[in-house]
Amino acid sequence: MAKPTADQLERINQLARVPLTEDETYVFPAKLVGDQIIPSRFYRLTPNFLRKMAIQAREGVSLLLDHSWANLGIMTIPLGRTFDSRLQMDGDELALYADHYMKLGQEVGDIKIDQIADGIDAGTIFDTSIGFTVTSQTCSICGQEYFGGNCPHIRGREYDTKPCTVDINDGDLMENSLVFDGAYPGAGVVGMSNTSETQSTVKWEFLSEDAKSLPSGGRVFYSFSGKSGLDGFVMQQEKNNEAETQAKGDDTVTEEQKAALAAAQTQATALTAANGVLGQVRAALGVESDADIPAKLTALSAQAADGAAYKVKVTEQACGAGVRALGEAFNTETMKAMLFHLPVSEIEKIGATYEAQAQAALGGGGRHTEGDNPDLPAGALGGAAPSNPQKTEKTPEEQRALAKEAAVAALKNTGRSNLLKEDK
């Protein structure tokens, strides 16, 4: 029977009320689930949910027989518990593994734990299946909630050659059961040697909200739940290397040499990560050396400040033209808020449209004096609008309509249509 290592026993006894010994503890690893599509059911657990499950499996969830908690009238007493977990890449699959323990010599009802352990060792008990709750399941095609929402798609069908699946984004891992035929391919008891020795173990590092760069090769997963809120994690893969294996397995290496080698490896890893980040920064800034980075950042900051000032100027000009065109009907503060989300080029277009409308309303905006005579043209003070020397073909009402259409089109083209207010 599989006995725990010293490290495993220490983890187990953090969960046990009464410390267990090596001889009375049986351990085994199992693959719980992965991020591949579950055949015939067209469900898929997202990496975010797997990350959360890994944490819960490390904290310890129940080991049952055949999801007994779901069968009414059957007393549910766990046979064991998980005590550790890991996420690892199995080819293209992100898979969740967990280590389980049971106490030998126990009997649960008419079930003897030793007999279960014998069956696992013999390979006659091998399949497992997880039990979990779900709080978010969305359509892979439209991203909306699949059940009870406005999603028009049907799981299992294809839309533009893309299959529709139900993506499970959040929930809680409740238990893992020993069963005769699990739903997820490959889920079940695995050999004791099936650890990170042959696969790339996925390690998670908490992503600070202030982070501006990521480690080279890192992937970020975000998880949102009512308990933890929004959390970001950087996924990094680390493979065992020859030096590490030598340090752990070669008895000729002294403890001092092992410590020195470990320190050197830590420094090398940190240096590699730093160089990777700096390389990305150099490429993004278009500089050759690290020494050029501060000067480039200073120049970019100055350019950004100039750009922000110019955007304010263009916005003020556009709103000024709007006031001249529409008078008191023009809401300056609302328009500034709308223009704030647009690029400068779109603001300039809207300003030009308002300016054309203002010229039409004011008679073309051209000169109304004659020669060097500062007197206004005859009839200018008679209450009628001055003549339009440009002879604009569109009326002021038409110009207003064009200006409104231009503003609406600019907001829609830049993805800001949510700022539009429907006419009532």
Reported as type and span, the H/E element at residue 404 is: helix 396-413
255 and 304: one domain? no
What is the model's pLDDT at position 214? 54
Give the domain-ending residue among 188, 209, 230: 209
Give the domain-ending residue among 232, 258, 286: 286
57 and 194: one domain? yes
41 and 143: one domain? yes
**By the 8 A CB rule, do 314 and 348 touch?**
yes
Helix (H, G, I), strand (E, B) or coil at 12: helix
Instruction: DSSP letter for 37, please.
Output: P
Tokens representing 204 are 């998670």
Does residue 223 form part of some domain?
A: no
| Domain, as residue range, for 59 | 6-209
Rg, Å, the chain Cα set: 34
Q: What stretches of 140-254 show up as alpha helix (H) in DSSP?
A: 242-249
As separate numbers, helices (DSSP H) first and strands (DSSP E) second, the chain gives 9, 15
40 and 130: one domain? yes
Does residue 234 form part of some domain?
A: no
Does residue 372 form part of some domain?
A: no
139 and 13: one domain? yes
Q: What is the CATH number of the domain that holds 158?
A: 3.20.16
E-only strand ranges, 54-208: 62-65, 80-90, 93-103, 107-108, 111-112, 127-139, 158-159, 162-163, 166-179, 188-189, 200-206
Does residue 305 form part of some domain?
A: yes
64 and 139: one domain? yes
Residues with Cβ within 8 Å of residue 235, at least 6 apart in sequence: 47, 87, 202, 203, 204, 218, 219, 220, 221
198 and 60: one domain? yes
Helix (H, G, I), strand (E, B) or coil at 105: coil
Cα 346 from Cα 352, distance rounded (Å): 10
What is the model's pLDDT at position 335? 84
89 and 200: one domain? yes
Cα 76 from Cα 181, distance rounded (Å): 20
53 and 131: one domain? yes
Pairing of strands 62-65, 80-90: antiparallel
**By the 8 A CB rule, do 373 and 335 touch?**
no
224 beta partners: 230
E-only strand ranges, 207-287: 219-225, 229-238
Pairing of strands 200-206, 80-90: antiparallel
What is the model's pLDDT at position 338? 80
Does residue 232 form part of some domain?
A: no
Does residue 26 form part of some domain?
A: yes
pLDDT in tens, the chain (424 residues): 689 999 999 999 999 999 999 999 999 999 999 999 998 889 999 999 999 999 999 999 999 998 887 666 566 889 999 999 999 999 999 999 999 999 999 998 788 999 999 999 999 999 999 999 999 899 999 999 998 878 999 999 999 999 999 999 999 999 999 999 888 999 999 975 433 333 445 555 555 555 445 555 555 555 444 444 445 555 554 444 444 444 344 445 566 666 666 666 666 566 555 556 666 776 777 767 777 888 888 888 888 888 888 989 989 998 888 888 787 777 888 888 888 888 888 888 888 888 888 787 766 544 544 455 555 455 444 444 444 444 445 666 776 677 677 766 766 666 656 555 555 4
266 and 350: one domain? no
27 and 155: one domain? yes
Tokens representing 394 are 């569109």
**By the 8 A CB rule, do 221 and 207 touch?**
no
Instruction: DSSP letter for 139, please.
Output: E
What is the model's pLDDT at position 248? 44
Cα 116 from Cα 420, distance rounded (Å): 65
Does residue 227 form part of some domain?
A: no
Put simply, whether the predicted model's pTM sits higher than 0.75 gets the answer no
Tokens representing 233 are 């994690």
Q: How many domains does the chain have?
A: 3
Give the domain-ending residue among 224, 253, 286: 286
Buried b (16+ CB within 10 A) or exposed e, 100-138: bbbbbeeeeeeeebeebbeebeeeebbbbbbbbeeebbb
25 and 160: one domain? yes
Does residue 115 form part of some domain?
A: yes
**By the 8 A CB rule, do 113 and 102 touch?**
yes
